[in-house]
Amino acid sequence: PAGRKVLIIYAHQEPKSFNGSLKSIAVEELRKQGCSVTVSDLYAMQFEPRATRSDIVGCLHNSEEFNYGVEMWKAYKRGCLSSDLIEEQKKVQEADLLIFQFPLYWFSMPAIMKGWMDRVLIQGFAHEFPNCYDSGLLKNKLALFSFTTGGSKEMYAKGSINGDIRYLLWPMQHGIMHFCGVELLAPHICFAPEYVSEEEKKEMLIAWAQRLKTLWKEEPINCSPEWYFK
């Protein structure tokens, strides 16, 4: 793994939070292995989640009627995206592995992280029909979703009140990452850290550090619907 590049996209407001600890452990552990690690700390960066006209520098392709997708695609080709997006795309381009670290909000990622997906992973850069899924433009990269939940593991079991946790991963892992050609490592889920003992919290952090030690030996998950809905 020495020489591998990792980008951690991190969405939590509080550095002392459990998510903050998970992020710090990943930075420390991966750097120890000789990886180069970059963190996009979205709240600290005050990352703009809204997809707007300001994402394009200079003239629009069609100033009569604004179509974000088309304008971004054209602006990317002309090299006219706003500097914050160029910066993030450069980090993604260089990374071998993307780790998304966040608390689950309403069965999904926080808005600031969804905004990162909306604005950064645009047509021409991350996908370009028919180049999507296995032929997506970000192929040969890996991604890992590491997140915390409010509900316990039992609440996210198949047949339970929330349904299988894997159902929630379908839009995030398959609909975004796999669509862009990225392969997925199994998600790392810390269930209900707020409601467990200090001892159990510590164990969760140790388990993450342990997993990171052998992360590069892991095989990606099967990128088909079966993984999510079997």
Q: Is residue 1's pLDDT more than 80?
A: no
Mean pLDDT of the 27-32 span: 98
Q: Where are the domains of the chain?
A: 5-229
Measured distance CA(93)–CA(112) in Å, rounded? 20
Mean pLDDT of the 23-42 span: 98
Structure tokens at 86: 């160029």
Cβ count near 148 (within 10 Å): 21
Q: Is residue 109's pLDDT more than 80?
A: yes
Residue 180's alpha-carbon distances to 7, 12, 78, 134, in angstroms, are 16, 25, 21, 8
> Residue 2 — pLDDT band, cuts 50, 70, 90?
confident
Q: What is the pLDDT of residue 74?
A: 97
CATH 3.60.20.10 correct for 5-229:
no
Q: Is residue 39's pLDDT more than 80?
A: yes
Size (the chain), residues: 230
> Residue 4 — pLDDT band, cuts 50, 70, 90?
very high
What's the pLDDT tens digit per position in 169-220?
999 999 999 999 999 999 999 999 999 999 999 999 999 999 999 999 999 9
State the Cα torsion 41-45-49-53 to the nearest 10°: -140
What's the pLDDT tens digit per position in 134-168?
999 999 999 999 999 999 999 999 999 999 999 99
What's the pLDDT tens digit per position in 51-95?
999 999 999 999 999 999 999 999 999 999 999 999 999 999 999
Mean pLDDT of the chain: 97
